[in-house]
């Protein structure tokens, strides 16, 4: 049985500047995440991030928002089935989800078919068959990979080996690496892959060590991503190591241990919020997120994934607030207008950067959304 929960936010007396029509209908949001399975180390933080968002801002001008949450068990087929159920049976106005690119692609296809806006917290590159009704919260992979490859170039790296997941996320990172490496005069010497549920990468690590690269980039995410670095250290690799924003996660650090020391990665500003300059655009909202998270869970926020869901909530509320002045929630007309509002999001400051969406650009591509960090004794350090 798939986990299902219902969050119904309180109706507060706050009055916003946008005039609202006089209906009493609530907004309904469908939230799909991976509370079980290989991607749960990301999916559980996503769930907590959304709850922190509800704590931070629970309504829209006194209008209640119902959030119906379903567990996709880290399975794309289940993710698609959940999306269809939320739209057809629960009549949600929008979808947010999920942990993992393959499941995100599955939801995007349903969103396009049923014409409901989808805010993806995983990196999803839509094609002609599954795009058109979505925006991406995470920083665009080319933006992140360009940043880390530029760091490689400044550090004197001439050759880089690649090891990534044998799925869409691994492909997205590898494709971005090829483009960025060519621009920076760096040669890519391997393209090794493994599945998220594999228990060994001995063969892949031996091939990488034999290639003698100056650096290795892993196109992975969450705790399964630690396996690549553990395998490399066990086989004697001592060069520079890089990761993507997909590995900024405390469970990843716990599993990888000493094999991750001095790992470089691009990430969003929130990860090092207290280390940012006082005038950084995302510093205040990032610290607000941390306060809301602690208020909700009586614990500190320690990963980069909860903030993506927090920002998704802010993006949804911003677009819904503008849409409610025009259309009634719970209708196809509202969904269509909500999509238009999402695609006209402008200079919305979040924990992970600044969001600007347009019909021709559904990705977070703003350079203000990325910083470089290095892992030192289990802590991420800001690298200006």
Check whether residue 246 and residue 345 sit in a common domain. no
Q: Which residues form the domain of 152?
A: 141-267
Q: With H, G, I as helix, E, B as strand and everything else as coil, classify residue 116.
A: coil
| Residue where a domain stops, chosen among 267, 301, 326 | 267
Check whether residue 63 and residue 12 sit in a common domain. yes
Whether the pLDDT of residue 15 is over 90: the answer is: no
Whether the pLDDT of residue 10 is over 50: the answer is: no
Cis bond upstream, residue 98 (ω within 30): yes
Whether the pLDDT of residue 18 is over 50: the answer is: no
Distance CA 265, CA 380 (A): 9
In a domain, 275, yes or no: no
Check whether residue 263 and residue 327 sit in a common domain. no
| Residue where a domain stops, chosen among 267, 294, 311 | 267
- Span 222-261, pLDDT tens digits: 999 999 999 999 999 999 999 999 999 999 999 999 999 9
Give backbone dihedrals phi and psi of 123, rounded to 5 degrees, phi first: -70, 115
Check whether residue 260 and residue 287 sit in a common domain. no
Beta strands per DSSP E along the chain: 4-8, 27-33, 65-71, 94-97, 118-120, 134-136, 159-165, 187-194, 215-219, 240-243, 264-267, 348-350, 353-355, 371-376, 379-383
Check whether residue 12 and residue 34 sit in a common domain. yes
Check whether residue 16 and residue 108 sit in a common domain. yes
CB 266 within 8 A of CB 367: no
Written as six digits, the tokens of 110 are: 């349903």
User: Cβ-count burial of 8 within 10 angstroms (0-12 exposed, 13-18 middle, 19+ buried)?
Assistant: middle
DSSP run (H or E) holding 143: helix 141-154
In a domain, 354, yes or no: yes
3-state secondary structure 10-56: CCCCCCCCCCCCCCCCCEEEEEEECCCCCCHHHHHHHHHHHHHHHHH
Check whether residue 15 and residue 92 sit in a common domain. yes
What average pLDDT score do residues 272-280 get? Answer: 97
Check whether residue 237 and residue 362 sit in a common domain. no
In a domain, 172, yes or no: yes
Check whether residue 147 and residue 230 sit in a common domain. yes
CB 123 within 8 A of CB 77: no
In a domain, 158, yes or no: yes
Whether the pLDDT of residue 8 is over 60: the answer is: no
Whether the pLDDT of residue 89 is over 60: the answer is: yes
Distance CA 21, CA 23 (A): 6
Least confident of 59-68, 113-122, 364-373: 59-68
Q: What is the count of structural domains for the chain?
A: 2
**Category of 298 on φ-ψ map: left (φ > 0), alpha (ψ -120 to 50) or beta:** left
Percent of the chain with pLDDT strictly greater than 70 = 92
In a domain, 276, yes or no: no
Check whether residue 9 and residue 133 sit in a common domain. yes
Q: What is the pLDDT of residue 183?
A: 98
CB 67 within 8 A of CB 90: no
Whether the pLDDT of residue 2 is over 60: the answer is: no
Distance CA 117, CA 108 (A): 9
Check whether residue 8 and residue 126 sit in a common domain. yes
In a domain, 251, yes or no: yes
| Residue where a domain stops, chosen among 235, 267, 299 | 267
In a domain, 273, yes or no: no
Written as six digits, the tokens of 360 are: 């021709």
Check whether residue 30 and residue 113 sit in a common domain. yes
Give 341's Cβ-side CA count (13 Å radius). Answer: 24
In a domain, 59, yes or no: yes
CATH number at residue 299: 3.40.50.2300
List beta partners, residue 6: 68
Single out the residue of 302, 242, 317 nearest to residue 270, CA to CA.
Answer: 302
Least confident of 92-96, 232-236, 279-283, 300-304: 300-304
């Amino acid at each position: 049985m798939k986990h299902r929960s219902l969050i119904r936010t309180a109706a507060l007396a706050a009055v916003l500047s946008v005039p609202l029509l006089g209906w009493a209908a609530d907004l309904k949001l469908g939230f799909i995440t991976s509370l079980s399975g290989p991607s749960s180390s990301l999916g559980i933080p996503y769930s907590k991030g959304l709850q922190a968002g509800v704590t931070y801002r629970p309504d829209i001008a006194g209008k209640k928002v119902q959030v119906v949450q379903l567990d996709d068990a880290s399975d794309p087929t289940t993710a698609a089935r959940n999306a269809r159920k939320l739209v057809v049976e629960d009549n949600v106005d929008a979808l947010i989800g999920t942990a993992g690119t393959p499941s995100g692609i599955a939801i995007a296809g349903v969103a396009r078919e049923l014409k409901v806006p989808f805010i993806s917290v995983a990196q999803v590159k839509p094609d002609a068959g599954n795009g058109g009704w979505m925006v991406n919260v995470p920083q665009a992979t080319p933006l992140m990979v360009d940043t880390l490859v530029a760091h490689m170039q400044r550090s004197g790296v001439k050759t880089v080996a690649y090891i990534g997941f044998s799925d869409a996320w691994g492909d997205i990172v590898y494709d971005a690496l090829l483009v960025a490496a060519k621009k920076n005069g760096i040669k890519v010497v391997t393209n090794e892959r493994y599945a998220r549920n594999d228990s060994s990468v001995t063969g892949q690590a031996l091939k990488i060590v034999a290639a003698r690269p100056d650096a290795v980039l892993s196109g992975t995410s969450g705790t399964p991503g630690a396996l690549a670095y553990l395998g490399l250290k066990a086989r004697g690799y001592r060069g520079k190591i890089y990761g993507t924003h997909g590995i900024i996660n405390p469970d990843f650090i716990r599993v990888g241990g000493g094999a991750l020391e001095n790992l470089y990665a691009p990430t969003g500003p929130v990860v090092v919020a207290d280390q940012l300059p006082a005038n950084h655009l995302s510093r205040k909202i990032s610290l607000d997120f941390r306060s809301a998270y602690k208020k909700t869970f009586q614990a500190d926020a320690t990963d980069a994934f909860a903030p993506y869901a927090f920002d998704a909530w802010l993006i949804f509320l911003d677009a819904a607030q503008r849409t409610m002045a025009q259309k009634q929630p719970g209708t196809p007309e509202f969904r269509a207008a909500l999509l238009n509002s999402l695609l006209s999001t402008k200079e919305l400051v979040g924990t992970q950067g600044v969001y600007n969406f347009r019909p021709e650009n559904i990705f977070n591509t703003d350079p203000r959304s990325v910083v470089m960090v290095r892992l030192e004794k289990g802590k991420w350090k800001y690298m200006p």
